[in-house]
Chains A and B, each alone.
Chain A
Amino acid sequence: MSYEDVTFLLQCRSILVCVMDLSRLIRDAQHGSTQAFGEIYRMLLPKIFRFVWYEVRDKQTAEDLTQVTFLRLWKAINSYDADKGSFPSFTFAIARNLIIDWQRKKRPVSLEVIGEIEERDETIDTLIQQEVVDRVRQALATLPAQDRQLVVLRHFEEVPYEEIAKIMGKQEGAVRVKLHRILRQLKGIL
């Protein structure tokens, strides 16, 4: 069982789903089972939604794009090959392409909007710490979308470098170097 499979099983809601193997669900969905695809949908929905939302910053748009992501996933599910990467990476790649299309059509979102997080968790004790977080958040917002997605996938979603490379369509080494540069850039801001 792969790293991603374990992650999914930890995230799943019901015991029934937990005992079911993700790869079996994928196989069933590939054979046309909408029920199996429904289970996959429930597992992946929060993950894909927040990834999309972090880029579009609009709940309605994020929900629409998430639905379209799953629709495309259903259409492309037979082309998924487990040897070429994990299933979540496959889904992230679809979502990412949709985000790119959306960003091409829409005008850039202003920094003020990006700075606002809808469900903000106020657990930072001191104002200084809060200020640092705000600065990093703003710095992330000003990054090119591709760089921001790298940070999100690696540091927030904890996706391995190898999988990120597959999502981005790049070499693993190039991803490591790029992320290192982004972090150095962010440190420079602090």
Chain B
Amino acid sequence: MKLTQAFKQLKKEYLAIQPSELLREHGWNVLRQRIEEEEKSWGMRRVWVLLASVVLLVILGGAGTVYAAQSAKPGDALYPVKVASDRVAARIAPILARPTEEPKEVIPTTTATPRAAEKLETEKVEKVKEAIDAVTPVAIPSAVPTTPPALEVVPPVIPSIPSVGL
């Protein structure tokens, strides 16, 4: 009974607790501003994340294409990419070189040689193919019989055993 009465009194005190007039009057305006600011910053964050994703996708896609182009041969769709990547590599090689090192002389043949070899090889292959196609098949008479000669069956010679009179 005492506890119930005490709770009643305490509840009265509890319900009398009120926020300040300032919070009641202006609390919502302050909160709304904060919500708007947070949403704005969240919107900007989303834009940045989207931009970063696009840039990353482009970089990864480009790198993947260049990597895939390294095994391309003349005439392939990715071969120009390979040649272009070689040119870029040749240009940035002196920039990436350490300052203590002597600047390396760019010899065009260093990058041109493998490509020239690839071209030469491709041309050779093409020529061989053309030569093979040009040759008409000639009928060669068969000098050797196709079926092997039948083996002559020799009956085994059984030596006669002389009869010995006992």
Contact = CB atoms under 8 A, between A and B. Distances in A.
B12 interface: yes
A122 B107 CA distance: 99
Interface size class of B (residues with CB under 8 A): 20 to 34
Nearest to A135: B6
Contact of B35 (A71, A120, A186, A190): A71
A59 B27 contact: no
A168 interface: no
B13 A121 contact: yes
B28 to A, nearest CB: 5
B11 interface: yes
Interface string B1-27: 011011101111111111110011001
Contacts of A45: 19, 23-24, 27
Interface residues of A, number: 41
Interface of B is mostly: helix
A123 B9 CA distance: 8
Contacts of B17: 49-50, 53-54, 118-119
B20 A46 contact: no
Contacts of A190: 2-3, 6
A61 interface: no
A137 interface: yes
Given A71-B35, A137-B10, A46 B3 contact: no
Interface stretch (A34-42, A88-96, A103-111, A159-167): A34-42
B123 interface: no
A50 B31 contact: no
Interface string A124-139: 1000010011011100
A26 interface: no
Given A34-B35, A50-B14, A50-B15, A133 B9 contact: yes
A187 interface: yes
A140 B2 contact: no
A152 interface: yes
30 contacts: A37-B35, A41-B27, A41-B28, A45-B23, A45-B24, A46-B19, A49-B17, A50-B14, A59-B20, A63-B20, A66-B19, A71-B31, A71-B38, A74-B35, A118-B17, A119-B13, A119-B17, A121-B9, A121-B12, A124-B9, A129-B9, A133-B10, A136-B6, A136-B7, A137-B10, A140-B10, A156-B14, A156-B15, A183-B3, A190-B2
Given A41-B27, A71-B38, A133-B9, 6 more contacts: A45-B23, A46-B18, A46-B19, A49-B18, A136-B3, A183-B3
Q: Closest 6 CB pairs between A and B?
A: A50-B17, A136-B6, A49-B19, A156-B14, A133-B9, A156-B11
Interface of B: 2-3, 5-7, 9-20, 23-24, 27-28, 30-32, 34-36, 38
